[in-house]
Structure formats: C-alpha cells, structure tokens
Amino acid sequence: MGAVLSAVAVEKSFVAESRRLDILRGVDLVVKPGALAGIVGASGAGKSTLLHVFGGLDKPTSGTVAVNGENIFSLSDDDRSRFRGKNTGFVFQFHHLLPEFTALENIMIPTMIAKANPTTAREKAEGLLESVGLKDRIHHRPGKLSGGEQQRVAIVRALINDPTLFLADEPTGNLDERTAAEVFTMMAELVKKRQIAGVIVTHNMKLAGLLDAVYELHDGRLNAKA
C-alpha cells in the first residue's frame, strides 16, 4: 500500500539578525493509510514548523513533501491551497471555532469552501457529531461547550471533507488529563477507522504510546523512539 505522506530530506532555515537558524535538518518520514505517527520533542524544537511543512502551510528550504504521490511544493500557491483543502485536515491546540456559529455550522465551514451540496454536507456533519457523542450539542455555540467538546468539534471539522492526511498540533494540550485521554483515543480511532494517515505532535508521552510510531525531533533531526 502506497504512502499518503512521504517527506524526503526536508530542511528549513531562517535568517535572524544575520544568523542562520537551521530548524529542520534532513527530515524523512513516511506514513501509510491507517497509520498514526507521533512527533515529540522539546519546546522550540520545530515540531509545529515541521507539521506546517507537511501540510503545505510553510515551504521547506529544501527537500520534498508528497501527499498521495503529489509533490505539493511543485504546485502554485493557489493549487496547493486547493489541494490542501481537499486532502488534508488540521487540528490545533486551540480549537479555532467561530463563536457566533453553532457546532454544526462550524463543522460545515470547510464544505462551504469546497462548494459541497449543502444538504449532503449537513447530513454528513450531523453524522460526524453523533459519532463523537455530540448529537445533543449540534445547535450549541462553542461558548456552551466544554473544552473537550470543543476539540471534538474541531476534530470532526477536520474530517468533514474526507482528507487522506490528518495533522494535529498538540490537540489535547489545553485539556485536563482525563479529557485529553478521551479525546486522544477518539481521534486515533477515527483516523484508524477511516484508514487515513495521521501525524500528531504531542508533549504527552503517555498518550503518544497509543500511536503506531513515535519520533523525536531533536537538533533539527527526526529519529524514531524505541
């Protein structure tokens, strides 16, 4: 089975105050359908930068990133944006839900951008909310939801367009231990069930143990942890 994500020799450097900072140094990673890879590392190690490169939000200085065999940085900015919207789902530490919209409306936003059929999109969004135990919270705005519920909404919003690649940056970092475990487990189950590839940045080594493989980003290099 082919890889969903294939990163080869990815490097990322910045120049600050006439000094060159090498954030990523020759990173390689392959993630196949149904596999979940975790990335851990010290604060400031470049984990978020790496995730943004994988998702096409940030260009590497050198190296290639392919999603479903497509070299995403060979695409124009507009084409890469469209490709990302169709193929990649993102979840961040802060849920970024729009406070004036209901849970259902928040989830449907990506389908509106993709110009999907509104009736079909609504039915799909309702089904996703029900699948994560939020059937009774469909019409609640974010302010009426708990932190765990808000992050569940953010996770299913990332899945509404059926991406093949799921990227999550500290998705449970703002939650208490019990809620974090529940949300993390639910997220892993959804990715596995849908047979998509997932990369999750986390500082929680206990939760990272639930993943198929864990890599540490240290000194710009990505190494598998035993």
Residue 73, C-beta contacts closer than 8 angstroms, at least 6 positions apart: 56, 59, 60, 64, 65, 80
Q: Considering its fold, how many domains does the chain have in total?
A: 1
What gap in Å lies between CA 137 and CA 103, rounded to an integer? 7
**pLDDT string in tens for the chain (226-residue length):** 678 999 999 999 988 778 888 888 999 999 999 999 999 888 778 888 999 999 998 899 999 999 998 899 999 998 998 898 889 988 876 667 888 999 999 998 888 877 788 888 888 888 888 888 888 888 999 889 888 888 889 888 888 888 999 999 888 777 778 888 888 888 888 888 889 999 999 887 777 777 889 999 998 899 887 6
CATH number at residue 27: 3.40.50.300
Please count the residues of the chain. Answer: 226
Find the domain containing 111 and state its range. 5-224
